[in-house]
Amino acid sequence: MSNFLINIIGPTAIGKTSLAIAVAKHFDTEIISADSRQFYKEMKTGTAVPETEELEAAPHHFIQHISVEEKYSVGDFERDAIKKLDELFRKRQVAVMVGGSGLYIKAVTEGLDDFPEVDPEIREKLNSHLEEDGIDWLQQKLFALDPEHYKNIDEQNPHRLIRALEICMATGKTFSSFLNKEKPGRDFKTISIGLTAEREIIYDRINKRVDMMIENGLVEEAKKLYPKRELNALNTVGYKELFQYFDGNTDLETAISEIKKNTRRFAKRQLTWFRKDPEIKWFEFDEDRQKIFNYLEEQINA
């Protein structure tokens, strides 16, 4: 009998958590979180970590399990998530994974691409360029060395830019050339479903979520993390804009507006990533849950 991983994806603020809990309860199973921002204990409000009652409604894994000061790569997540899935599949046939971090989802469902080791000095030089020349320098450099990968990357994420550049500079080959090689097999089948909506609806949901985060104490949370602002985990939407406010470079109203704008851009990039996958079955964000359950049961019993 096959094991099945139900993979629930979609842009931020679309309602993935609510659906994942409903699906997990329907199949009496547990949830793997593949939202890389929700891994960190100190980043509860700004990453929309599920509420306590939601976490209690169905068992969740990989939510607030590490500190922002710990290094935790996509490779670490792949290893840990596969180990947890092995445990879950010993007890049940179905597990659920939910999140909007495309690379982390891909690592679990398909396996990571095999990249060579890189001299740490290259990364140090690239970090120096980031500090001295800004993210624009990294963007221009990657566009010159690997325009194909540049089209697909989150160009506002310096960690991803540096990772791609260090491979290019260390090997003399493009980052893209290491992608899509043969990967390890998985002993489960993946059923991917996506939630979507008209752009105006997605943007409205994002704006309302950011307002709720502010109301729930995001400014205070970011203030506590401000002394650690140089950490990679904190170079993310919702925090970096407030750090600019704390620096005196902008006012609070502008910082909140920038959070909304950058979150909308992030949602657009998420959809661009996911829509490349023809295996995803898309549903409207307010689709009747029973129709989704029926689809999943048909796939499992096919």
DSSP, residue by residue, 204-262: HHHHHHHHHHHHTTHHHHHHHHGGGTTSGGGSSTTTHHHHHHHTTSS-HHHHHHHHHHH
**Which pLDDT band holds residue 183 (cuts at 50, 70, 90)?**
low
Task: Report pLDDT digits (tens) over 98-136.
Answer: 999 888 999 999 987 778 778 888 888 998 999 899 999
Q: For residue 9, which of 175, 137, 190 has the smallest C-alpha distance?
A: 190
Q: Give the model's pLDDT for residue 123.
A: 87
Q: Are strands 60-61 and 189-196 parallel, antiparallel or unpaired?
A: unpaired
pLDDT in tens, 39-68: 999 999 999 999 999 999 999 999 999 999
Can you say which residues are annotated as belonging to the binding site? Answer: 10-17
Residues 164-173: what's their mean pLDDT? 91
CB-based contacts of 174, cutoff 8 Å, min separation 6:
145, 146, 148, 149, 168
> Per-domain residue ranges for the chain?
4-112+183-301, 120-178
Task: Supply the pLDDT for residue 138.
Answer: 95
pTM, full prediction: 0.84
Which CATH number is 4-112+183-301 given? Answer: 3.40.50.300
| Among 44-48, 204-208, 233-237, 296-300, the least confident range | 233-237
Higher pLDDT, 180 or 224: 224
Residue ranges for the known binding site for substrate are 12-17
Helix axes 199-215, 252-274, angle to 10 degrees: 140
The third-level CATH classification (topology) of the domain covering 120-178 is Histone, subunit A (1.10.20)
**Is 185 in a helix, a strand, or coil?**
coil
Which residue ranges make up the annotated binding site for ATP? Answer: 10-17
Max Cα distance, the chain (Å): 60
